[in-house]
Amino acid sequence: MGLALTVLPRAGRSGGPPQAPPISPRRGERRLVDSHGRTIRDLRLSITDRCNFRCVYCMEPDVRFLPREGLLTVDELIRVARACVSLGAQKIRITGGEPAVRPELPEIIAGVAALGVADVALTTNGSIMDARTLAAWREAGLTRITISIDSLDPGAFARVTRSRTTPRDVIDGVRRAVAMGFHPVKLNAVIVRGLNEDQVVPLAALARDLGVEMRYIEFMPLDSAHAWDRSRVVPAAEIAAAIDRVYPLVPLGRHDVSSTALDYAFADGAPGGGRIGLIAPVTRPFCGACSRLRITADGKVRPCLFSTREWDLRPLLRDGCGDTEIEDFLLDATWTKQAGHGISAAGFEQPARPMSAIGG
Per-residue pLDDT at 75 exceeds 90: yes
Least confident range of 7-21, 49-63, 288-302: 7-21
CA 346, CA 328: separation in Å to the nearest integer? 34
Q: How high is the pLDDT of residue 255? A: 84
C-alpha dist (Å) from residue 253 to 1, 21, 140, 250, 278? 34, 36, 33, 9, 10
Provide the percentage of residues in the chain whose pLDDT is more than 90. Answer: 86
Q: How high is the pLDDT of residue 345? A: 83
When the pLDDT of each residue in the chain is averaged and rounded to a whole number, the result is: 93
Tens-digit pLDDT profile for residues 192-207: 999 999 999 999 999 9
Per-residue pLDDT at 12 exceeds 60: no
CA 78, CA 109: separation in Å to the nearest integer? 9
Q: Determine contact, residues 287/340, Cβ cutoff 8 Å.
A: yes
Higher per-residue pLDDT: 98 or 273: 98
Three-class SS string for 162-181?
CCCCCHHHHHHHHHHHHHCC
Tens-digit pLDDT profile for residues 250-299: 999 998 888 889 999 999 999 788 999 999 999 998 899 999 999 999 99
Counted residue by residue, the chain has a size of: 360
CA 351, CA 360: separation in Å to the nearest integer? 14
Residue 181: Cβ within 10 Å count? 10
CA 150, CA 189: separation in Å to the nearest integer? 4
Question: What is the Cα gyration radius of the chain?
Answer: 20
CA 16, CA 258: separation in Å to the nearest integer? 38
Q: How high is the pLDDT of residue 18? A: 55
Q: 43 - beta bridge partners?
A: 92, 293
Burial of 116 (0-12, 13-18, 19+ CB in 10 A): exposed
Q: 125 - beta bridge partners?
A: none
Q: How high is the pLDDT of residue 19? A: 80
**Pairing status of strand 311-312 against strand 300-302:** antiparallel
- The model carries a pTM of 0.93
Q: 13 pLDDT band (50/70/90 cuts)?
A: very low
CA 318, CA 80: separation in Å to the nearest integer? 12
CATH class of 33-358: alpha beta
> What are the structural domain ranges in the chain?
33-358
Segments in the chain forming alpha helices (H): 74-86, 105-113, 131-140, 154-161, 167-179, 200-210, 236-246, 314-318, 323-335, 355-358
Residue in 173, 164, 165, 167 with CA at minimum distance from that of residue 196: 167
Tens-digit pLDDT profile for residues 302-324: 999 999 899 999 999 999 999 99
